[in-house]
Amino acid sequence: MPTPKWYSPRIRRDLVAKLYVCAQAEGIPMTKLADRLVEQGLKGGATPHEEIKARLAEEPNQATEPR
């Protein structure tokens, strides 16, 4: 079997279950729902990495404090 040429991350089992229920409710495939949710999450120009760095710069103590 050939090795895939791109990375395909695994989604946590609990999130897959939630995606399944939401996709069924909307009558669309889970892949379409997952694509839409990822696109919405990445909208706005800044990458998640940049947003995290900005939050840490604003509140550096929260990153090191235990929850």
Q: In the chain, what are the domain boundaries?
A: 13-64
pTM higher than the cut 0.75: no
**Above 70 in pLDDT, residue 31?**
yes
* Distances 61 to 48, 51, 53, 57, 67 between C-alpha atoms, Å: 20, 16, 13, 9, 12
Instruction: Pick the more confident residue, 64 or 18.
Output: 18
CA angle 25, 32, 7 (to 5 degrees): 135
- Residue 67's pLDDT is 42
Q: What percent of the chain has pLDDT over 70?
A: 78
